[in-house]
A = this chain, B = another copy of it.
Amino acid sequence: MKTMRADALRNRAQIVDAARILFITRGPDTPMEDIARAAGVGVGTLYRRFPDRDSLIIAVGQDVVGRLTEMLHAAREAESDAWHALGRYLREWAEIRLGLLYDALCHGMPPAVRADQDLARARDDWADLLDELLRDAKTEGALRQDVDLVDVATFMNLLIQMEPGGTPDKLLDVMIDGLRGP
């Protein structure tokens, strides 16, 4: 594991990418063979990297959480107040359809996925960050007081599960409007 061969690394990345997209568009039961084909590798390669479906899901989850965390940092730097950072963040999130968190707590995920420590830690770090953003936005008086992390994550995950080709933008607009305090 020290030094992974260049092609192996590339394959791994392609697999995770393909899986992330297929998990969203076709669900977490997408045949492994389809994932392999989409990644441009054979099934065997997929199974060498990820001994079973769960470990693939975990890898995708870590990838997703990592990206969400990055995006969150970027949004805060780009905006001066928390409310606008939140809006920007949610819009970007929706745009790239980063899902697979399932109501932010991995409900509905296989036990092995829920038990994974690394993934849990990554998710917690991200959650702390988002929590802070929400708190700040409430302090600013812009965000409803009764809304929490779980509500936001749940909504975003629902949004992302929409059929591709749908137009989530308006829905998100309405929701952000609803998030604004009275």
Contact = CB atoms under 8 A, between A and B. Distances in A.
Interface stretch (A61-69, A132-140, A161-169): A161-169
Given A107-B165, A163-B102, A174 B171 contact: no
Contact of A107 (B108, B146, B155, B163): B163
Contacts of A170: 146-147, 151
A154 B162 contact: yes
Contacts of A173: 178
A151 to B, nearest CB: 5
Nearest to A160: B158
A59 B32 CA distance: 29
Given A151-B174, A179-B178, A161 B163 contact: no
A100 to B, nearest CB: 14
Contacts of A154: 162, 166, 171
Contacts of A116: none
A175 interface: yes
A23 to B, nearest CB: 14
A3 to B, nearest CB: 16
Given A158-B158, A158-B159, A159-B158, A174 B165 contact: no
A159 to B, nearest CB: 7
A109 to B, nearest CB: 10
Interface of A: 29, 102-103, 107-108, 144, 146-147, 151, 154-155, 158-159, 161-163, 165-166, 170-171, 173-179
26 contacts: A29-B29, A102-B163, A103-B162, A103-B166, A107-B163, A107-B165, A107-B166, A108-B163, A144-B174, A144-B177, A151-B170, A151-B174, A154-B162, A154-B171, A155-B171, A155-B174, A158-B158, A158-B162, A173-B178, A174-B178, A174-B179, A175-B175, A176-B178, A177-B177, A178-B178, A178-B179
